[in-house]
Amino acid sequence: MADKNLFEYTEANIRSLDWQEHIRLRPGMYIGKLGDGSSPDDGIYVLLKEVIDNCIDEHTMGHGKHVDVTIDGKTITVRDYGRGIPLGKVVDVVSKMNTGAKYDSKAFQKSVGLNGVGTKAVNALSHYFKVTAYREGKEKTAEFQRGLLTKEYKEMATKEENGTFVTFIPDESIFKNFHFVQEYLDNQFWNYCYLNAGLVMNLNSKRYVSKNGLLDLLQRKTNADEIRYPIIHLKGEDIEIALTHENAYGEEYYSFVNGQFTTQGGTHLAAFREGYIKTIRDYYKKDYDAADIRGSICAAISVRVQEPIFESQTKTKLGSQTVYDGGPSMKNFIGDFLAKELDNFLHRNPATADALKRRIEQNERERKELAGIKKLANERAKKANLHNKKLRDCKFHYNDEATGKDKDNIVEKQKESTIFITEGDSASGSITKSRSVNTQAVFSLRGKPLNCYGLTKKVVYENEEFNLLQHALNIEEGYEGLRYNNIVIATDADVDGLHIRLLLMTFFLQFFPDLVKNGHIYILETPLFRVRNKQETIYCYDEEEKQTAVKKLGNKPEITRFKGLGEISPEEFARFIGPDIKLQPVIMETGEHVQTLLEYYMGKNTPQRQDFIIDNLRVELDISDEILN
């Protein structure tokens, strides 16, 4: 029988935490999920963002035209040329909660950082943190370790330009094995520049600057060969919009508030989608279906509001209902702007208006053609879900009533939610037994998926595997319904496994490219070898690591080659899908043409692809020879 004293609730159970203790104990409240940098919303990118946001706010207020950032291994430095923190408040600003100038609307208007928390969170979650303020010929410096002040320097004279210089090293006890992905940094820095035309940002040796704002953003995110008409670019006071339609399926949006990338949208994006539909219907004088109007759209919207209300500290979703206190509602502000500016644009550009109409009517025809097939496919999916058990869901979804009681918890769990797509029963069995049932789900494929390159979306409903997969992900009606933040392709490290991986990537790129573009698709990396003796076991992910492990252990250690995921015991598998999981993000490089990419790799055999395989095979053989020698 359990000791009842273990469950007593007394005064001894009540604790008061210092600010840095609370941040370190509950980092998810301040920076979302932790992660190792494999995902664009991992905590290390949020730490960088929190520091840079202060630089951007200075620029927005007319102070400082460029920001210099250096990432050297684990050490990050950020230098702006704004007004600089008032010297007497340098320590308080980075270490005293709810302290900052953002509470004074005279000093900062339409700022993104309003809670007085961001830089403090960076400080508390850093192994080392240093801040220097340069102001009117003087400077003030303070150093911290995990949020605690270790050294405060006296004010001294300086020849440095006004501004702030921050150095920090994220704490590896919290951000384990972290690394920065250059593509994610590129997107982060470009977004800052698109929203602040003329701002120059430097990251190591790379320079970022934009002259045309959201027009430049959409030109970078789309391909001239894939869009149906030239990008529409509209600007007004505190609002900017760019949009076009592509040949791809789905809807793709980039929404911003006061320079903050709101990855989860919010009231401004909802207002745009609603206002856009109404304007199109009014212009063409036809009650088009909303899905046909928005199908294949690629759009960006940026608004600036006073005192924005976000739904979390990470500011990924806007909750503000008005543009400013006593001002117009978000819905009316954006709706009225579109009703005037977009309508005027379409009247002045009849060729664009005709191309847009053709795209809408094409969507309408395809939707009607699919109507009957979708009904049958939905019935098959419901029956399969009841009897097939292809999907082993996680508690986060089938216990919504419990998680729904804690809004902050459900947001955090959504970011952690993961679905593994596996091949065969043995692999899915191993993952199912070793997974975290709270946030990790498993979907089991039967055989190799169809190569869907060049096929229409009709095949998604006619093919049982694809139909069940899209229902498991809840993406039939669009990207917004996605049930899992991380979609992980988990296949064997052999020829068949690699082929299945390519077929699944083709499926997502062909029909749901926004999942790839928004960083939701990953490849699970599992060890190829286990090298062990009686004292130590080392898991190796390639031949070079295996050779190093053999040399380390010596005396002819036991070497096991894992040919398939099903050969790894559930006990071992738990190591590879737990906190130290290794995920390789599927990233499309800027300017890559989706259809050209798919044709090259998944189309009929071509001499170019044959040459590519032969040349790379030679490189692999050369590397193997070097390792063996």
- Domain harbouring 396, CATH code: 3.40.50.670
452, part of any domain: yes
Spatial CA neighbour of 113 closest among 321, 324, 308, 317: 308
Residue 392 shares a structural domain with residue 406: yes
Residue 240 shares a structural domain with residue 300: yes
12, part of any domain: no
14, part of any domain: no
Q: Which of 208, 225, 240 is the last residue of a domain?
A: 208
Beta bridge partners of 78: 69, 166
Residue 539 shares a structural domain with residue 398: no
Q: Which of 542, 561, 580 is the last residue of a domain?
A: 561
Residue 234 shares a structural domain with residue 162: no
Tell me what pLDDT residue 252 has. Answer: 87
Q: Which of 208, 229, 256 is the last residue of a domain?
A: 208
Residue 254 shares a structural domain with residue 403: no
Tell me what pLDDT residue 458 has. Answer: 87
Residue 55 shares a structural domain with residue 170: yes
3, part of any domain: no
Residue 221 shares a structural domain with residue 236: yes
Residue 157 shares a structural domain with residue 189: yes
504, part of any domain: yes
Residue 482 shares a structural domain with residue 584: yes
Question: How many CB atoms are closer than 10 A to CB 37?
Answer: 20
Query: What is the residue range of 287's domain?
Result: 214-366
CA distance linking residue 527 with residue 538, whole number of Å: 10
Tell me what pLDDT residue 208 has. Answer: 95
Spatial CA neighbour of 297 closest among 213, 371, 348, 232: 232
Tell me what pLDDT residue 337 has. Answer: 95
73, part of any domain: yes
Strands 66-72 and 200-203: what pairing? Answer: parallel
CA distance linking residue 127 with residue 174, whole number of Å: 10
Residue 174 shares a structural domain with residue 266: no
382, part of any domain: no
Q: How many domains does the chain have?
A: 4
| Spatial contact of 441 and 463, defined as CB atoms under 8 Å apart | no
Phi, psi of 284 (to 5 degrees): -85, -5
Retrieve residue 539's tokens: 């898991």
Tell me what pLDDT residue 402 has. Answer: 42
Give every residue of the chain whose pLDDT is below 70, as ranges: 1-7, 9-17, 19, 97-117, 310, 312-315, 384-389, 397-413, 589-593, 605-606, 617-629
Tell me what pLDDT residue 623 has. Answer: 46
Residue 228 shares a structural domain with residue 358: yes
Tell me what pLDDT residue 614 has. Answer: 75
CA distance linking residue 603 with residue 188, whole number of Å: 33
Retrieve residue 347's tokens: 């009247």
Residue 343 shares a structural domain with residue 398: no
Question: How many CB atoms are closer than 10 A to CB 172?
Answer: 11
Tell me what pLDDT residue 409 has. Answer: 53
568, part of any domain: yes
